[in-house]
């Protein structure tokens, strides 16, 4: 299923990422995740209140990109609850959709910055989930 692209706001090289960019990016990205044949059912099975979840994710990315401290959650705890789905293949699929979405919606340098951050976050989550699995196996 092809998802129509929203109007793209191309940033000039001297422009910075804005809160509005994040507020547009996150719902668009997760609409693509939900449409994905593999990730969609996983996310729809885990998330019961999408509007609230999107607000949390916008706060998360706002905190990451602007060090605002708006996000107050515990992403590791949330991901460990769904450890059976936290495979390297699923993380790579998520990152692939992230890269494609950020490339399409943002200026190249801004997209690249968000992609590097997402890569680091994914790596951290994978390591945390693996630690949890190993710890659970020895308990």
CA distance 73 to 116: 21
In the structure encoding, which two tokens stand for residue 131, read together? 């630690």
In the structure encoding, which two tokens stand for residue 127, read together? 């390591």
Sign of CA pseudo-dihedral 121, 96, 130, 87? positive
The pLDDT score that the predictor gives to residue 9 is 46
Task: Give the relative orientation of helices 50-66 and 19-35 as an angle to the nearest 10 degrees.
Answer: 130
Residue 45 buriedness (CB in 10 A; 0-12 / 13-18 / 19+)? exposed
Residue percentage of the chain with pLDDT more than 70: 78
Task: Tell me the Cα Rg of the chain.
Answer: 15
CA distance 85 to 30: 17
pLDDT in tens, 25-44: 999 999 999 999 999 999 99
The pLDDT score that the predictor gives to residue 89 is 93
- What contacts 124, CB < 8 A, 6 or more positions away? none
The pLDDT score that the predictor gives to residue 86 is 74
The pLDDT score that the predictor gives to residue 49 is 96
What is this structure's pTM?
0.81
CB 35 within 8 A of CB 1: yes
């Amino acid at each position: 299923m092809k998802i129509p692209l929203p109007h793209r706001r191309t940033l000039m090289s001297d422009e910075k990422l804005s809160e509005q960019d994040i507020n547009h990016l996150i719902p668009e990205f997760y609409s693509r995740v939900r449409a994905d044949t593999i990730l969609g059912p996983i996310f729809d099975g885990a998330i019961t209140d999408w509007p609230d979840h999107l607000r949390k994710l916008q706060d998360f990315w706002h905190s990451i990109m602007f060090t605002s401290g708006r996000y107050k959650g515990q992403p590791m705890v949330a991901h460990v609850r769904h450890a059976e789905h936290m495979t390297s293949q699923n993380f790579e699929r998520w990152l692939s959709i992230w890269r494609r979405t950020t490339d399409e919606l943002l200026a190249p340098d801004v997209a690249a910055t968000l992609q590097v951050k997402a890569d680091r976050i994914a790596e951290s989550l994978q390591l945390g989930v693996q630690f949890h699995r190993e710890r659970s196996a020895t308990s």
